[in-house]
Amino acid sequence: MWRYLIPVGIFAILIAFFFAGLGRDKETLPSPLIGRPAPEFTLPRLEDPTELVSSKDFAGRKYLVNVWGPWCAACYDEHPALLEIARRKVLPIVGLTVPQGALADQQGKPLPLEDVLEEMQRGLRWISELGNPYDVTVFDQMWTTAIDFGVYGAPETFLIDEEGVVVHKHVGPIDLTVWERDFMPKINASRSAGG
């Protein structure tokens, strides 16, 4: 008689599996960068492309790299939270501005300068209209740095410590709950460990 309960048992196990899978985040991929040195970059400033900003400028400091673009709706959702985080002045925030796909043709030849400048203007307009949370904003026309960071969907936010190591990565919009829960403990931990 007990054997008739076997299908019921299998069914229960399946339900348990599916239920556990319901709440799991299958979109966020684990980043191989965590615990490894952050990629180095030297990129032009969005406000003044003649001026170059390098990751070395932040050596010895904790900083945040926020990957965003004026085409990105989720970045728009994230923006108020980012402004609030900037207002708290915990650490410098670098805005890594990317276009929606590299501004280049298939052979890797950059698009005409007007197209590039227009995309940069869109970014500048966003900042001037919505407020600027960034201490410095750089423009990654070719997605070179974004690919080095393993970016697959904006917004993405990286926390980099004093040693230049990526401590945390968040994919998708940050809100203050995420900030307090995931970022702040790591910021404080590396602070006390370093000093």
Partner 1 sequence: MRAFLYTLMLSLWLPAAWAIDPAPAFEDPALQARYERLARELRCLQCRSETIADSNASLAADLRRQLRELIAAGKTDGEIMQYMTDRYGDYVRYRPPLAPRTVLLWAAPALFVVAGITAAVVVILRKSRLPEDDPVDPGLGTS
Contacts with partner 1, residue ranges (CB under 8 A): 29-33, 100-102, 104, 106-108, 143, 147-150, 152-153
| Spatial distance between the Cα atoms of 45 and 137, rounded to a whole number of angstroms | 6
Phi-psi region of 65 (alpha: psi -120 to 50; beta: other; left: phi over 0): beta
Rank residues 21 and 108 by Cβ distance to partner 1 and give the closer one. Answer: 108
| Spatial distance between the Cα atoms of 184 and 78, rounded to a whole number of angstroms | 17
Backbone φ and ψ for 167, nearest 5 degrees, come out as -95, -35
Look up residue 171 and give its DSSP letter: E
CB of 108 to partner 1, least distance (A): 5
Rank residues 71 and 76 by Cβ distance to partner 1 and give the closer one. Answer: 71
CB of 158 to partner 1, least distance (A): 13
Rank residues 122 and 191 by Cβ distance to partner 1 and give the closer one. Answer: 122
| Spatial distance between the Cα atoms of 153 and 172, rounded to a whole number of angstroms | 7
C-alpha closest to that of 38 among 167, 190, 165, 169: 165
CB of 39 to partner 1, least distance (A): 8
CB of 127 to partner 1, least distance (A): 22
Rank residues 101 and 195 by Cβ distance to partner 1 and give the closer one. Answer: 101
Rank residues 73 and 193 by Cβ distance to partner 1 and give the closer one. Answer: 73
Question: Which contiguous run of DSSP H or E holds residue 128?
Answer: helix 113-130
CB of 152 to partner 1, least distance (A): 4
